[in-house]
Structure 1
Amino acid sequence: MSAIPQEVLGLRVEVVRSIRRTAALHIVGSDLQVRIPEHLGDERVAAILKQKRPWIRGKVAELKRVPPHRPKELVSGESFLYLGRHYRLKVQEGHQVGVCLSGGYLRATIRPSEQGEQREARIQQYLQSWYRSRALERLQEKSNRYAKQIGVSPAAVSVKNFRSRWGSCDKRGQVVFNWNIIKAPHSIVDYVVIHELCHLIHPNHSKDFWQVVGRHDGAYLEHRQWLKERGGRLL
């Protein structure tokens, strides 16, 4: 049985092991992400969580002061983010089902026979499919552009529904992004792309890594802070 608690002060604990030198704690939404070097054992992680408990308590208090996030009702008139802009949802009936961005609206077309919970589930399905498709297209485009600028060559670029991180880069050069990041403004998306691509040079968060990030994103500190403060609203 692992010595690492599954939950600390109401936050779900997620441990992310990677090639890095130090441990770091991040809160994303209702998750407490513990980023640690690969060699660090469970007991050491548990000790870090115990040591950082006052810091976690303070962050939990901050979260409680933020108004609770209201789930979407998935009806016409609701606002949805895409690349930092708000678009109103327009639900309509038809046989060419799906979601498209047209005339300044996110238009969701569903079959007339779908009502109640089935209608809501279908709109959710179409919206997520649209977001994932747009995210893959945009993130691949941005990755290609910044890869040339940075001087790296990712093996592949894909999207996934991470619970509490914005991207990952493994030893094989596979770069994966959280598709929800496509809801953020362009500058924030660019920061996440640059961040992950720079891991192809430095697979850690060392001083050298941040220097490379800073060369390609002069405002990375502001962008990183934006994600810490507002990123949870994108998930």
Structure 2
Amino acid sequence: MLSKKIVFEKIGEVHFQKSSRAKNIILRVKPQAKIQVSVPKRTSFKTAERFVLQKTDWVLKALEKVKTFQENSIIFSDETIFKTYFRTLKIRKHDSSDAKLKISETTFEIFLPTNWEIKSEITQSKIRGFITQVLRKEAKNYLPQRTLELATQFNFKVNRVFIKNAKTRWGSCSNKNNINLNLNLLRLPQSLIDYVILHELSHTVHHNHSKNFWDLLNKVTLNQAKILDQELKNYRIHF
């Protein structure tokens, strides 16, 4: 038997799958609250079941996070108002069998087949994929340029700027002074975009969150660092 499903009292249905690649038991909670377990070929399902039982508390917390994510996520429709930094989303139907993205100066249009159910998981995933594509394009055009502008203004030395689609971080700075910026920054107000960039630029001088780091960040944000940092926490990376 290569797979099996078991219903646990507290966490519900769990799908176990034998895997030739897995070296250890891997437990995942997927979107739509699907619980999946990859089981090494030489490990018994019974051992994997015991592992899941030991992780019950972790699974419950993960399920709660998925629930919160789903409750806060946008369900896109042709009436949704959604803006990136430079463009406004428009969703339309067309007669083609494939979804299509069209980008102009001020808008980006997503064309969906007329027979697609717009609220289905597959369609919503396709829409989010197109939006991410637009955000990446805008971010690559704008964020490195803005970073260099701020670095020049405040005398920071930065090496390279990379655009990422991180799930938990707005930005990061490596020991080589390479800066990673989240493409979702372009969904934030300008003040917070600049704050994240200045935060990472300050890490090119202090690779920590020491008092010296915060003093420097305060200096380049006109003593607004803590206020901006708190404001940033009100925004979510996912959509």
Indicate the TM-score class for this superposition, using the shorter chain for normalisation. Answer: 0.5 to 0.7
Pairs within 5 Å for 1:80-229: 80-83=82-85, 87=88, 89-93=90-94, 97-100=100-103, 105-110=107-112, 112=113, 115-116=116-117, 119-218=123-222, 219-228=224-233
Deviation at 1:169, TM superposition (A): 0.4
> Shift of residue 170 of structure 1?
0.6
Equivalent of 1:10, from 61, 76, 84?
A: 61
Structure 1 gaps of 5+ residues are 13-28, 32-63
- Flag the structure with more relative contact order, 1 or 2, with Cα contacts below 8 A and sequence separation at least 6: 1
Off by >6 Å, runs of 4+ in structure 1: none
Contact 2:151/2:157 (CA < 8 Å) preserved in 1? Answer: yes
Q: What whole-Å deviation, never above 9, does each CA across 1:84-121 have from its counterpart, x for those lacking one? A: x9945332437993243656x542235x4873455444
Counterpart amino acid of residue 77 in structure 1? E
Instruction: Select between 135-144 and 188-197 the one with higher mean Cα deviation.
Output: 135-144
SS of aligned partner of 1:192: helix
SS of aligned partner of 1:10: helix
**2-structure distance, mates of 1:69, 1:86:** 25
> Identical aligned pairs, as a percentage?
22
1:183 and 1:234 in contact (8 A); partners too: no
Determine the C-alpha separation between the residues in 2 that align with 1:114 and 1:197: 48
Unaligned runs of 5+ in 2: 1-23, 25-54
Structure number, greater radius of gyration? 2
- In the alignment, the residues of structure 1 paired with residue 99 and residue 165 of structure 2 have an alpha-carbon distance, to the nearest angstrom, of 26
Tell me, yes or no, if the aligned pair for 2:167 and 2:238 is still in contact at 8 Å.
no
Distance 1:8 1:74 in 2: 28
Q: Which moved more, 1:175-184 or 1:118-127?
A: 118-127
SS at match of 2:236: helix
**Would the alpha carbon gap of residues 142 and 72 (structure 1) be closer, same or farther in structure 2, given more than 3 Å must change?**
same
1:161–1:88 CA distance, 2 compared to 1 (3 A) = closer
Number of residue pairs the alignment of both structures matches: 178
Alpha-carbon displacement from aligned partner over 1:38-57 (angstroms, at most 9, x marks no partner): xxxxxxxxxxxxxxxxxxxx
Measured in 2, the distance between the counterparts of 1:74 and 1:193 equals 30
RMSD of aligned alpha carbons: 3.7
With normalisation by structure 2, the TM-score equals 0.61
Distance (Å, rounded) in 2 between the aligned partners of 1:69 and 1:102:
32
TM-score calculated relative to the size of structure 1: 0.62
